[in-house]
A and B are shown apart, each in its own frame.
Chain A
């Protein structure tokens, strides 16, 4: 068995200055209040032997999670080390572990022959010396940690089971299982399953909308007269064939040509390759049917006739009006010849009167002519029209002279000349009027000729003066109306036939729309064919396999943990019972049976404590009893399983022990100290006194009297 002789600590945890401890006495007592460095002393032994294995969450000791090795107050240049002298009875080894960084440390191992190993070689050798005992084994059988007792004392079954697992050295299994649970694979699996949920819901909404549209369209189709069993591809194609056959027959009957179009063999081609074309053909047939064309022609002709009639009527009236006016004129005024003759007479008379005037007084005539000239507009009234010279007030002067000298003489002749001139103007005006009337009349006659020509072209005959074009047109109209009446029924029946065919086309369109909507509903199938969907399915399969494998691993770990616990309890159970009964001396409890079973919900170990009658003890155990139980388990296991180490360490073992229990406990320790070094750290004054008084083996006492940041623990040694 491996014992420890000496311990040297510097800069480790609570320590600043270097301190040395001799550990060769059977019992080593570390006394002192809180935060004096007692636990750091025990931790130093641990760390020296196992290095960074005893740090962090993997230890299962919660306070080790953010553990600092290097004392914060240590000057930066100072080293941190723990040196431990070990002996296996014959040989002495010196293990010195130095702190390098948070994650690194270095071991130097000095062998009995004074040679030394360093680093990995030293670690391997040390492990050999420790006979491959793990840190877990150390905690189970050598170092009873105060936290282990604390969690046994709790009333929570889960925490108690955890603590007992730890005591039994099974916390690694628990840690792995906790790690697996923390990974949340089941949750992830459910999330993967649900990842699609939002998308599925949207599809569901879209499909419900489409379903409603479908139902509406199906209802409409039935109202259109479609039988239910025709609302499918086959039905659509059957009706399409009927449409084609009926149109072909129609074309043949009406002398039209139907566009050659093959019948599609699937509904998808119906819309664009067939129905749209058929629709256009029907529209074409409606306008190109011979009857319809003829009807159109007749209507056109009828419009033309009515228009011509109107035109003829208007122009004829105009001709009549002009003729009446012309005749009236002739009657009143005579014709052109007569008017010309009248004009000629007047001109002759006028010439004679002017000659007469001239003969009476040439000068006076000249003055009269000059006055007449000067009175004209735009003429300079002061310029003589004969000589061209300017005379002021010439016109006035001439007028005075005319009035004075010539008026009486020539006045009458002048009046007569004036009168004749007026008559002449009147006749000229009549002649003009006559000419106008003649022209109008000619034009009106020409218009009538043109209208007749148009009528003749329309009626395809020459219109002569003997014909009454208006009546001829009426007759033609009657003929047209008669023909229109005759063709009306035939056209109506043909249009109805086309309506019927067109209704069938509408039905096919409706069915195609329905089939389209049904096709779109197959979006689910489309989605399931996508690479992305297939990938999700693959991932689900892989995930299920992974979860399944992990669950198998969990089951295996639980099984191993259970078996391990069972074996340990089997080997140490009796001793644990003896120790417990010795410490507690409860007359009602003569024996305890520690057993383990599997929690059906979690698969983890569940520990039960029963008395000699098989009754559950936990509900009736006090805190002191639970403390005693924890100590019994530790000491029992230590005795049964610890073969390597020649010492045990107890840190604050008496947390809830009463005085009697402490005494009994000390008796047990005294017995143990006979074969192993017992190192106890406590601040319990009563326990201290009791240990000093009642332990029969040699003791070395270290009093941790104080602590300061600059120097670390103040330790006084006493040997007893």
Chain B
């Protein structure tokens, strides 16, 4: 019962993230939807699997994967967004460009 609810919520997060990746019209909105919601869904599901098999080698490696995912996916998204901004992909509602003349 608890298993189905938990995994169902995680699956809903992943589906919503993938649908948002398809339907948004601005690149920065797509990046938000792609990394935040899907990584959240994946980590919820991994927390459940680590809880089921707690105190074993499986749960230690799963917790390691969770920590690594939560640490590195915002960094990667920030790097790609900076590269896209410098290369000319501007958001739809840009008011003031504070990064004039950056390489």
Q: Do A and B bind each other?
A: no
